[in-house]
C-alpha cells in the first residue's frame, strides 16, 4: 500500500530526511518513534503532500502510484489521511459543515453520490461515538478554542468520518491524559481492519500499550536506524534513544576509519 | 428638464470649466427648489457652494487624501440635474428585503412609485427629505446640516449645495420601529456620466430604537458619481442599528460622508459593507458628545481589479465613559487598493474612554495594496485606547490542513477567505442583509459552492 524508497527531503536548503525506507501493507500498524527534531513530522507532512518540503531524492509510492506530482487533496481523496501534530484552528468554518464538504469531495472523487444533510448527520453522529466527541464541538469552528485534547480527538473524529485507507497519526497521543489517550487509542483500534493501515508517530512508548503495533521503526536524524517488532518499543523505553544514537555514531566513525 | 446641464471632459478640459458645470448645477438646483424649501436652506446652499468654489477638489498634497487620487472625479464634467430616468421594478427587486419599509431613490431623487412604506408607529416619519422640506420645513429647523460641516470637506460642501432629495427618518421619543427601514439608492447611468448628491437624515429621539439599511446599487453600466451625506442624530438613550451596502457597478464613483452625533447613553452600531464601485471613499465622523455612549463602527470591504476603497474614520470622544469599537476587515485581489485611516480623538474631559480600533487586511494577490493608518490623539489621562492593524496573506498551513482533508486548493483558499470575513458577517443582525452578503461572497469566491456547503 505504501512504499517509501530512499526518501531525501530538505527544507530551506537543510537536509531533514536522509534516505528513509518504509513499506506498509494493508492491515498493518507501524509505529515510528524518534527524538525531537529527528524528522518524524517532516515525513508525515511529505506523505500528505506539503509542498514546502522538497523531495531531493527517492520516491513515495501509494497504491502503486508515485505521489511526486499528487496534490494534497488528491492524496486525501485517494484515502490518505494525516492527523496533524498541531491541528490548525480555522475560525469561521464550522467543524461539521467543513467535514461534510470534505467527505463529499472524497465521495465525488470515488464516484459516489454526495451525502445530503440528513444522511450526513446520521453518519456523523455514529462516528462521534467512536471518539466520544461532545456534540457542541461539531458546531463550533474547526478547532477554534478547543483544548489540546479536544483537538487531537477531533483529528481522530475527522479520520473516522473520512474513512481513509492509510492513516498517518502524528503524535496524536502527545499531551493527553490517560483517559483521553484511551479514547484516542480506542478510536484507532475500532477502525483497524485488514484493508486499512496506520502509521503511528509517537514520542512515547505509552501509546503503544494501547495501540499495539506490528512494527516499530526508530527515526534518528532523518534516517530509520532500527526496525523491529513491538518489543523494540519496550527496549527503547528502557534504554532511551541515546543507545541508538551512540550506536549509529560509532558505526559512522567506524566506517570512516 | 430645462435645467439639465451637460459638459463633457473632451469639450471642456480646463478646470475652470468644470467649476462652471457645478455652478450651473447649483443654480439649477436653486431654481428647481425655489418655493419648495425654506430660504435659510437656499442661503446655506449658497454658502456651501461658495466654500466649494474656494477650496475646490482635494489634491494629493491634501493630507486627508494622500492615498486616494480623486482626479478622475475632479476632471469629469458630470451632468447635473438631469431628469430622472425610469427604472423597472425588476431592477430594484434584488435590493428589497421582506418585512422592511422601503425608500427608493433613483439618481438622488425619491421614487414614490418604487417605495413601499408599511404602517408605521404614530409620529414616525419615513419619507422624502424634499417633501418634508416643502411641506413641514419648521420640523426640520436646526437639524439639517447641523452636524455635517461643509467648511473643510469639499464633498460635503458640494452635497449641501446640490442635494435634491434623500431619506428622512425621524423616530419620536420612546418609539420602537420594529421593521428595518431599507433605503435603496440606485444609480442609473444613461449616456453621459452624471453626479447625484443624496442627502439622508436620521433622527432617533430619546429612548427610541430603529434599524436602518442604506444601500447603493447600480442599474446598468456606465460612469457616474454618487456623493451622499447622511446625518445621524442618536439622542439620549436611543438605539440605532445601521447597515450600509455599497454595491454599485465598478464604473461608479462613490464619495460619502457619514456624520454621526451621539448623546448621552445612546447606542449606535453600524456595519459598512463595500464591494462595489471603482473609486470609493467613505468618511465616517462620529461624535460621542454625551456620557455613557456606545458606538460600534464595523466594516468589510472586498475589492478586486483596479477598485479603490478608502475608509476614513474619525471618532471623537467628547464626553466621559464612552466606548467605541471599530473593526474593519478588507479582502483585496488583483490590483485593488484599500486605504484605512482611523483617527481617534479623545478630548480633555473624556475620562474613562474605552476606544478600540482594529483594521485587518487580507491580500490575495501580490499586486494588491493596502495603506492602513491608525491615528490616536489623546488629551485625557484616564483612558483605554488600543489600535491594531495587520496586512497579511492566507495562512499556508491552514490551506494545507484543509487540502489534506480532501478540499481542493481553490476551495480551501476560498473557505479561509470566507472565514476571514465571517466575524463581520456574523455580527449582522438583520438576516436578509446577512444573507445578501453571504450570497455575494459565495458568488465572488472561486468554488463558492463548496464554501456554501462548508460554513
Ligand atoms: N518548515 C521548516 N523550516 C525549517 N526547518 C524545519 C521546518 N520544518 C522542520 N524543520 C526542521 O527539521 C527538523 C525536523 O523537524 P520535524 O518537525 O520533522 O521533527 P519531529 O521529529 O517531528 O520533532 P518533534 O518530535 O519535536 O515533533 C527540525 O530540526 C526542524 O527544525
Ligand atoms: Mg513532530
Contact list, A160 vs chain B (CB under 8 Å)? none
Contact list, A87 vs chain B (CB under 8 Å)? 401
pLDDT in tens, A3-22: 999 999 999 999 999 999 99
What pLDDT sits at residue B4? Answer: 38
Cβ–Cβ below 8 Å for B401 and A77: no
Radius of gyration of chain B (CA): 22
Q: How many helices (H) and strands (E) does chain A have?
A: 10, 12
How many CB atoms sit inside 10 A of residue B135's CB? 12
To test the pocket of ligand 1, the residue of A15, A38, A83, A219 to mutate (highest count of ligand atoms within 8 Å of its CB) is: A38
Nearest CA to ligand 1 atom 10: A11
Which band of pLDDT confidence, cut at 50, 70 and 90, is reported for residue A175? confident
User: Which class is domain A2-256?
Assistant: alpha beta
Percent of the residues in chain A that have a pLDDT greater than 90, as a whole number:
78
**From B397, B406, B423, residue closest to A76, measured CB to CB:** B406
Which band of pLDDT confidence, cut at 50, 70 and 90, is reported for residue B436? very high
A70 vs B147: which has the higher pLDDT: A70
Mean pLDDT of chain B: 94
What pLDDT sits at residue A36? Answer: 92
Q: Is the pLDDT of residue A253 over 60?
A: no
DSSP state string for B108-160: TEE-TTT-B-----TT-EEEEHHHHHHH-GGGGTTTTTSSS-TTT-HHHHHHH
Cβ–Cβ below 8 Å for A98 and B403: no
**Interface size between A and B, measured as CB pairs under 8 A:** 97
pLDDT in tens, B366-377: 999 999 999 999
What pLDDT sits at residue A237? Answer: 83
Percent of the residues in chain B that have a pLDDT greater than 70, as a whole number:
96
What pLDDT sits at residue A248? Answer: 53
Which band of pLDDT confidence, cut at 50, 70 and 90, is reported for residue B17? confident
Which band of pLDDT confidence, cut at 50, 70 and 90, is reported for residue A254? very low
Q: Looking at ligand 1, which atom is closest to the CA of residue A222? A: 14
**From A81, A100, A162, residue closest to B453, measured CB to CB:** A100
How many CB atoms sit inside 10 A of residue B235's CB? 20
CA pair distance A88, B416, nearest whole angstrom: 12
Nearest CA to ligand 1 atom 31: A37
What pLDDT sits at residue A117? Answer: 87
Evaluate whether B253 touches B306 at the Cβ level (below 8 Å). Answer: no
Cβ–Cβ below 8 Å for B398 and A72: no
Residue with cell 447641523: B146
How close, in Å, is residue A81 to chain B by CA atoms? 7
Cβ–Cβ below 8 Å for B406 and A91: no
Evaluate whether B258 touches B287 at the Cβ level (below 8 Å). Answer: no
Cβ–Cβ below 8 Å for B404 and A84: yes
CA pair distance B91, B185, nearest whole angstrom: 12
Cβ–Cβ below 8 Å for A50 and B402: no
Strand, helix or coil for residue A148: helix
pLDDT in tens, A83-103: 999 999 998 889 999 999 999
pLDDT in tens, B32-54: 999 999 999 999 999 999 999 99
* Distances from the Cα of A149 to the Cα of A84, A146, B131, angstroms: 13, 8, 65
Cβ–Cβ below 8 Å for A98 and B398: no
**From B400, B419, B423, residue closest to A50, measured CB to CB:** B400
Q: Looking at ligand 1, which atom is closest to the CA of residue A43? A: 18
pLDDT in tens, B69-100: 999 999 988 999 889 999 999 999 999 999 99
Q: Give which of B406, B420, B445 to mutate to test A binding, by max A Cβ within 10 Å.
A: B406
Q: What is the mean pLDDT of residues B264-271?
A: 98
Q: Is the pLDDT of residue A183 over 80?
A: yes
Which band of pLDDT confidence, cut at 50, 70 and 90, is reported for residue B247? very high
Q: How many angstroms is it from A156 CA to the middle of ligand 1?
A: 23
**From B396, B412, B422, residue closest to A91, measured CB to CB:** B422
CA pair distance A25, A43, nearest whole angstrom: 18
Cβ–Cβ below 8 Å for A101 and B453: yes
Closest CA to A88 of B252, B323, B400: B400
Q: What is the mean pLDDT of residues B204-220?
A: 98
Q: What is the largest CA-CA distance in chain A?
A: 69
With a Cβ cut-off of 6 Å, ligand 1 is lined by: A 11-12, 14, 16, 34, 36-42, 52, 85, 203
Q: What is the mean pLDDT of residues B398-408?
A: 97
pLDDT in tens, B135-163: 999 988 888 888 889 999 999 999 999 99
The answer to whether the complex's ipTM is over 0.90 is yes
Q: Is the pLDDT of residue B14 over 90?
A: no
Q: Is the pLDDT of residue A251 over 80?
A: no
Q: Is the pLDDT of residue B3 over 70?
A: no
Q: How many angstroms is it from A218 CA to the middle of ligand 1?
A: 16
Nearest CA to ligand 1 atom 24: A36
Q: Looking at ligand 1, which atom is closest to the CA of residue A36? A: 25
Evaluate whether B295 touches B327 at the Cβ level (below 8 Å). Answer: no
Which band of pLDDT confidence, cut at 50, 70 and 90, is reported for residue A246? low
What pLDDT sits at residue A242? Answer: 78
pLDDT in tens, A119-151: 999 999 999 988 888 888 999 999 999 999 899
**From B403, B405, B421, residue closest to A158, measured CB to CB:** B405
Amino acid at each position: 500500500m505504501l512504499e517509501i524508497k530512499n526518501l531525501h527531503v530538505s527544507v530551506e536548503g537543510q537536509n531533514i530526511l536522509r534516505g528513509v525506507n518504509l513499506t506498509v501493507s494493508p492491515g498493518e500498524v507501524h509505529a515510528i518513534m524518534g527524538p525531537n527534531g529527528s524528522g518524524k513530522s517532516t515525513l508525515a507532512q511529505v506523505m500528505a503532500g506539503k509542498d514546502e518540503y522538497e523531495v531531493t531524492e527517492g520516491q513515495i509510492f501509494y497504491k502503486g502510484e508515485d505521489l511526486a506530482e499528487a496534490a494534497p487533496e488528491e492524496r486525501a481523496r485517494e484515502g490518505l489521511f494525516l492527523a496533524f501534530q498541531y491541528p490548525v484552528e480555522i475560525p469561521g468554518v464550522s467543524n461539521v459543515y467543513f467535514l461534510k464538504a470534505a467527505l463529499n469531495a472524497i465521495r465525488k472523487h470515488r464516484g459516489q453520490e454526495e451525502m445530503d444533510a440528513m444522511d450526513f448527520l446520521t453518519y456523523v453522529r455514529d462516528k462521534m461515538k467512536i471518539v466520544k466527541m461532545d456534540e457542541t464541538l461539531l458546531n463550533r469552528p474547526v478547532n477554534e478554542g478547543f483544548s489540546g485534547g479536544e483537538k487531537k480527538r477531533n483529528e481522530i473524529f475527522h479520520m473516522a468520518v473520512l474513512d481513509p485507507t492509510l492513516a498517518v497519526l502524528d503524535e496524536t497521543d502527545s499531551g493527553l491524559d490517560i483517559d483521553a489517550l484511551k479514547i484516542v487509542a480506542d478510536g484507532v483500534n475500532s477502525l483497524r481492519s485488514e484493508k486499512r493501515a496506520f502509521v503511528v508517530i509517537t514520542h512515547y512508548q505509552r501509546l503503544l500499550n494501547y495501540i499495539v503495533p506490528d512494527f516499530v521503526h526508530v527515526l534518528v536524524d532523518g534516517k530509520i536506524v532500527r526496525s523491529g517488532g513491538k518489543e523494540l518499543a519496550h527496549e527503547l523505553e528502557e534504554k532511551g534513544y541515546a543507545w541508538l544514537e551512540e550506536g549509529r555514531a560509532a558505526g559512522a566513525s567506524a566506517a570512516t576509519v | 428638464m430645462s435645467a439639465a446641464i451637460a459638459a463633457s471632459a473632451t469639450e471642456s478640459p480646463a478646470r475652470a470649466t468644470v467649476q462652471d458645470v457645478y455652478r450651473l448645477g447649483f443654480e439649477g438646483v436653486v431654481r428647481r427648489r425655489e418655493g419648495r424649501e425654506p430660504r435659510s436652506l437656499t442661503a446655506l446652499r449658497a454658502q456651501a457652494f461658495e466654500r466649494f468654489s474656494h477650496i475646490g477638489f482635494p489634491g494629493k498634497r491634501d493630507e486627508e487624501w494622500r492615498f486616494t487620487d480623486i482626479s478622475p472625479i475632479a476632471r469629469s464634467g458630470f451632468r447635473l440635474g438631469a431628469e430622472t430616468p425610469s427604472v423597472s421594478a425588476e431592477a430594484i427587486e434584488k435590493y428589497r428585503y421582506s418585512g422592511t419599509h422601503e425608500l427608493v431613490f433613483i439618481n438622488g431623487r425619491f421614487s414614490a412609485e418604487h417605495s413601499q412604506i408599511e404602517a408605521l408607529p404614530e409620529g414616525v416619519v419615513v419619507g422624502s427629505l424634499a417633501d418634508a422640506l416643502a411641506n413641514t420645513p419648521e420640523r426640520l429647523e436646526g437639524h439639517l446640516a447641523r452636524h455635517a460641516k461643509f467648511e473643510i470637506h469639499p464633498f460635503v460642501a458640494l452635497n449641501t449645495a446640490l442635494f435634491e432629495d434623500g431619506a428622512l427618518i425621524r423616530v419620536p421619543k420612546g418609539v420602537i420601529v420594529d421593521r428595518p427601514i431599507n433605503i435603496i439608492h440606485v444609480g442609473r447611468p444613461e449616456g453621459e456620466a452624471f453626479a447625484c448628491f443624496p442627502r439622508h437624515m436620521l433622527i432617533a429621539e430619546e429612548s427610541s430604537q430603529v434599524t436602518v439599511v442604506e444601500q447603493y446599487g447600480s442599474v446598468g453600466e456606465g460612469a457616474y458619481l454618487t456623493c451622499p451625506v447622511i446625518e445621524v442624530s442618536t439622542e439620549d438613550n436611543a438605539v440605532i442599528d445601521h447597515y450600509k451596502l455599497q454595491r454599485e457597478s465598478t464604473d461608479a464613483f462613490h464619495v460619502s460622508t457619514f456624520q454621526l452625533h451621539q448623546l448621552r447613553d445612546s447606542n449606535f452600531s453600524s456595519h459598512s459593507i463595500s464591494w462595489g464601485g471603482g473609486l470609493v471613499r467613505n468618511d465616517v465622523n462620529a461624535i460621542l458628545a454625551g456620557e455613557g455612549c456606545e458606538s460600534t463602527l464595523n466594516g468589510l470591504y472586498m475589492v478586486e481589479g483596479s477598485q479603490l476603497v478608502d475608509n476614513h474614520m474619525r471618532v471623537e470622544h467628547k464626553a466621559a465613559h464612552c466606548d467605541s469599537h471599530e473593526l474593519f476587515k478588507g479582502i483585496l485581489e488583483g490590483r485593488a487598493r484599500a486605504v484605512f485611516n482611523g483617527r481617534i480623538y479623545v478630548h480633555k474631559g473624556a475620562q474613562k474612554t474605552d476606544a478600540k480600533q482594529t483594521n485587518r487586511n487580507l491580500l490575495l494577490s501580490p499586486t494588491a495594496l493596502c495603506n492602513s493608518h491608525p491615528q490616536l490623539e489623546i488629551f485625557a489621562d484616564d483612558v483605554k485606547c488600543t489600535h491594531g492593524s495587520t496586512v497579511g496573506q492566507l495562512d499556508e498551513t491552514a490551506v494545507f490542513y484543509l487540502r489534506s482533508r480532501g478540499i481542493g486548493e481553490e476551495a480551501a483558499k476560498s473557505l479561509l477567505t470566507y472565514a476571514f470575513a465571517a466575524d463581520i458577517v456574523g455580527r449582522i443582525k438583520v438576516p436578509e442583509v446577512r444573507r445578501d452578503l453571504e450570497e455575494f461572497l459565495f458568488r465572488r469566491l472561486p468554488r463558492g459552492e463548496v464554501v456554501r456547503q462548508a460554513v
